[in-house]
Amino acid sequence: MRAYDRAWVRPDTVAGLTVLAYVVPQVLAYSAIIGLPPRAGLVTAVIALAVYPWIGSSRALSLGPEATISLMAGSILAPLVARDPARVVPLTATLTVLVALWFAVGRLVHAGVVAHLLTRPILTGYLTGEAVLMVASQLGAATRTSSSGGTVIAQLIDFTHGLGRIHLPTFAVTAGTLALLVLLPRIDRRIPTALTAVAVATVTAALIGAAGRGVRELGHIPRGAQPISLPMLDSATIGTLLVGSLGIALLAFSDIMLVARGFATPGEEVDPDREMLAASVVHLVAGLLGGYPSSASSSRSAIGTGAGQRSQASGLVTAIGLVLVLAFAGPLLAHLPVASLAAIVFWAAWKLVSLPDFRRLWQFRRSEFAIAATTAVGTALIGLLPGIGLAVALSAVQILVTLAHPHEAVEGYVVGRVGLHDIDDYPNHVTIPGLLIYRYDGPLIAYNRDDFHARLMRAVGEHQPRWVLLNVEATMLVDFSACETLRAVIASLQADGRTVALARLKVDLRVQLEAAGVMALLGEHAYETLPQAIAAFHAANPDLPLPPIPPPGRPFDPAGPSHLPPPSTP
């Protein structure tokens, strides 16, 4: 605030009011996802917007209720409140406080790196699966039928059994609200879509007496926040909430960092530790005052930035507006149809699905697409947290498969190109007689030592070299098991009368190989560059023909003169 420019007051105020028009119907809808009263969403938004600016490090981030986190919280709480819906408020408070605890622990141990577990394929599939769950959770509210059950399959089965009992006035409200949500942006993007749709639905419901026709309305919204006392819980419930809150904290932090970095201005630094601390304080206050878990909203952040936001003061303007809504707007919102909020959830769910992302993943690599698709199906069928766990496990398996069988290359010269290349990529390659230059593009560890051994010996059998030159530029790590294999390979090749050499050896790798006794087997055959190793090979084997060696930085020319640097020793 000491550095606040008075010229920012107007754009920050305009941005804050613009976001206010968008956030009110959002938070009411997200409260319904969890099964909480509408006030809970308004309270959560006020706390997030009022607390974050004093601790967080992002200029543009909008923190508060968000569809993904709301649905995750609802899925965690659903089996716990199935027999006693009155427990939803205290259990939500407990869940929110536990999320604050996980954020505090993460801040203490600098655990921001865990957010990288959620890769782009996982997030793409997760959001798609979440969209399915969001739609399934609101089918009952949209039609005034039932769509209950612990899984999406159970919800859909329950819904299909009641298709003959769809309440047509309620369905008409849902369809009408959805039509407005789709058509208004096409008419004028400056129109606050969700707020306008909700206002039209509320006024229409009041004018035609929708409640008398059986359409459920929001009803009275109590003013202010409501302090919550945390309940006494059994160990099984505490365990469920601890695991669930950890998943929420992980996903919420990923959202926060992605949005904060995505909207950062040039030179702006987003501090993960400050973001964790801000999220911890926000969730602690929200849990004690009747709120629920929240996260970053990319849509609200984009709206604020597009409206000219200059600082987090715009969030304070939005918070003040929400306080006024809590204090005075209860009677205005009383006639808001619940079906309109379900339509907003459907609208938000559709925006979560990114078919272009799936297409790009398919074009890039089938395994990445499979992870996204499996995450989507797993999230929809077995739940949010199990779906994420399955996706992370698949990603880990993919990494292990890649490590166990990385790319390999036998290198040679290519006409018209600079340097050495994988001869499998170019039919016009030229190799050096008697010299096998072999590159293994990955770390040498226990998972792939047998693969390295088998593929290297196959290359030796195919080329029958006098020298085996290992280009280790891509090998940044070895473990003890791999060093034992490397020692055995070197000893076996030397017993066959072949010379083994290393090139492009990094200092860290040299230290590891020296400690394992590998360097002692090589003697002087360790070289800084490939041309120096080739020169040493030629000096030791003058009877073998040598193709022209291009000078550094020059392309290979079969008719050009040879250029060899003097051999070097370690």
pLDDT, position 568: 63
Residue 465 has pLDDT above 90, yes or no: yes
pLDDT, position 387: 76
pLDDT digit string (tens) for 342-372?
888 888 788 778 889 999 999 998 888 988 8
Domains of the chain by start residue, with CATH: 6-352 (no CATH), 406-540 (3.30.750.24)
Q: Is 171 left (phi over 0), alpha (psi -120 to 50) or beta?
A: alpha
Judged by average pLDDT, the poorest of 90-99, 186-195, 273-282, 315-324 is 186-195
pLDDT digit string (tens) for 118-167?
677 887 887 788 788 878 888 888 898 887 766 788 788 888 888 888 99
Residue 333 has pLDDT above 90, yes or no: no
85 pLDDT tier (thresholds 50, 70, 90)? confident
Stretch (H or E) spanning 302: helix 298-306
Residue 569 has pLDDT above 60, yes or no: no
> CB neighbours (10 Å) of residue 391?
26
pLDDT, position 319: 94
pLDDT, position 226: 66
> Over pLDDT 70: what percentage of the chain?
95
DSSP string, 125-179: HHHHHHHHHHHHHHHHHHHTS----SSHHHHHHHHHHTGGG--HHHHHHHHHHHH
212 versus 219: the higher-pLDDT residue is 212
73 pLDDT tier (thresholds 50, 70, 90)? very high
Average pLDDT over residues 246-272: 83
Residues 521, 515: Cα–Cα separation, whole Å:
12
Burial group, residue 560, by CB count within 10 angstroms (0-12, 13-18, 19+): middle
Average pLDDT over residues 515-535: 92
pLDDT, position 104: 95
Q: Mean pLDDT across the chain, nearest whole number?
A: 87
111 versus 424: the higher-pLDDT residue is 424
Listed in sequence order, the residues at least 6 apart from 100 whose beta carbon sits closer than 8 Å to its beta carbon are: 279, 280, 281, 282, 283, 284, 287
pLDDT digit string (tens) for 13-47?
888 887 887 788 888 888 888 888 888 999 999 99
The type of residue at 337 is: P
pLDDT, position 108: 92
pLDDT, position 39: 87
pLDDT digit string (tens) for 399-433?
888 888 999 999 999 999 999 999 999 998 999 99
43 touches 286 (CB < 8 A): yes
